[in-house]
Amino acid sequence: MTVSSADPVGFIGLGSMGAPIAQRFTAWPGGLVVCDARPEATEKAVGAGARAVATPAEVAAVAHVVSITVVDDEQVRSVVTGPGGVLETARPGTVVAVHSTIAPDTAVALATTCAEKGVDLVDAPVSGGAPGAEQGRLAIMVGGERSAYETVKPVFALTSDMTMHAGPVGAGTRMKVARNLLHFISFTAAAEASRLAEAAGVDLVKLGKVVRHTDAITGGAGAIMLRDTTAPIAEDDFWHGVFTHVRGLGEKDVSLALALAAELGVDLPLGRLALDQLGDGLGVGPGPLAAAAREKATR
């Protein structure tokens, strides 16, 4: 089903993440219907032209696209299938989009239940945080039928400049989990780098400015996510030369950091893992420095 711009859309759950998304949705030509367990949470959206109702069922009674941003799997189940929930009133062809990060299996199970009533459910987790929502720059990863993705895409465009069809139901959440794994491992690595810098007498505020400046240019860790497989790279493949070069730079720089850490008595567990696993992760195998470190560790 293609949603008409004359039809209202719905939004349930206007918390710290849902509120800025819903605020962007108030620009939808057909209007926005909102609902939250805390009536005061809807006030800003209402001030921008939305209409507030008391239950998810009242949202689904009028909206062909219903977005949900609540805390966890239990709350999503309650909003969709519980008393006063979306499925009490949702008409065939309605698309329910779950922006909450839930278990992929929860999304699949709920989609099966919704399908029994002719309703499509997509898992559509977001990346970019509240600032991304406010700026209309969220990435939204949609798992579901292609037709459902096409239905929600024009609505999501109000808050997203990258809406991605990740695959079948559950794929959006799986993509979000992988994305956030990188995010928080990177945070842990930043903390490790900060410990080394602090021990070496480096100004951490200035280091942070340098990191943010250069990551904005190079793309940070995402800059190497260019291939469609994690398999080893053949020597005659274009990427072999590129990633061999990256491995050489990485192993040299990590080795320097580990040497400095040993001198200063700072433990860098992620640094040791990076030296050992960088080449394999890039698909070109360990370089000389990693091979030497492995040999030393086995003595």
- Hey, which residues are catalytic here? 176
Residues 65 and 12: beta-carbon distance below 8 Å: no
Q: What is the dihedral of CA 225, 100, 112, 181, to 10 degrees?
A: 30
Q: How many other CB atoms are found less than 10 A from the CB of residue 293?
A: 18
Enter the tokens of residue 280: 């394999």
Angle separating helix axes 171-199 and 269-282, nearest 10 degrees? 130
As a whole number of angstroms, the distance between CA 14 and CA 59 comes to 13
Bridge partners (DSSP) listed for residue 98: 68, 123
Q: Give CA–CA dist 206/32, Å, rounded.
A: 45
CA gap 36, 28 in Å, rounded: 19
CB 214 within 8 A of CB 206: no
DSSP state of 91: P
* Structure token digits, residue 151: 């239905």
Buried-exposed string 66-99: b where 16+ CB fall within 10 A, e elsewhere: bbbbbeebebbbebbebeebbbbbbeeebbbbbb
